[in-house]
Amino acid sequence: MAEKVRQNRNIALLIDADNASPASLEAALTILGDLGTVNVRRIYGNWAKPGLKGWSKIVHRHAIEPQQQFDLTKGKNATDMKMTIDAMDLLYGGHVDGFGLMTSDSDFMPLAMRIRQNGTPVYGFGTDRTPEAFRQACTRFIDIDSIYEDENRPDSRPSPKPAVDDEMIKLLGDAWRASKRDDEGYASLSEVGQRVANRSSFDARSYGFSRLSELVQSLPNFATQKRESGLFVKRLR
């Protein structure tokens, strides 16, 4: 029954065409499948710009509704305002259970924060150049370009996974220490993951793993145990 409820969740994907690549669209749609069904699909931009031709070729193939916004004043972007207004309309309409924001523009940080304050998850999709402010405003942030590049390498060898830095290891360790541990020092990974989510927009896919459990199991800093109730983790060093 829980899986059925997840599938029925209504998800909105809003795309900032000026700051997103059409090549990574399919990966974003796949990831949003974790939240539910992407029924609302809108893309925003000035379609008179030659740079948006790549998007123009695929909007109908993926049933994305294009939103035209003219550049009324040089240096000002009406696209951002329209996308924000639509997101608020969808939020207050009460029929959307989650959002995907496809952009690398930090101007959408307040929007992501406001959606999260409503208790609604926000998945951000951008590049490694996306400002930290927007990354952390999202419930989850995914470096979508790195996923696309890995899935479309010309040979069968996977690309090297990005290194898990000391800051991320410390974050996982802090979450483990704050979690309830048994006599052997093991804590439920689900609780550890929830505490990590409260502090960071980190997503395991940005490090080349499909889920947190795979990432933790790859780290020599942690030991893991599989139990009937799930995976448990202990900090070693």
DSSP labels, 55-98: HHTTTTTTT-EEEE----STT--HHHHHHHHHHHHHHHHT--SE
| Full-model pTM | 0.74
pLDDT at residue number 132: 92
**138 lies in the same domain as 172:** no
89: confidence class by pLDDT, cuts 50, 70, 90: very high
The domain spanning residue 228 has which CATH number? 3.30.420.610
The domain spanning residue 132 has which CATH number? 3.40.50.1010
- Three-class SS state of 157: coil
**29 lies in the same domain as 112:** yes
201: confidence class by pLDDT, cuts 50, 70, 90: confident
- Three-class SS state of 203: coil
171: confidence class by pLDDT, cuts 50, 70, 90: confident
Which of 95-99, 127-131, 226-230 has the largest mean confidence? 95-99
Domain count, the chain: 2
Per the structure, the complete domain to which residue 84 belongs is given by 2-151
**114 lies in the same domain as 184:** no
pLDDT at residue number 128: 86
167: confidence class by pLDDT, cuts 50, 70, 90: confident
**128 lies in the same domain as 48:** yes
**128 lies in the same domain as 25:** yes
86: confidence class by pLDDT, cuts 50, 70, 90: very high
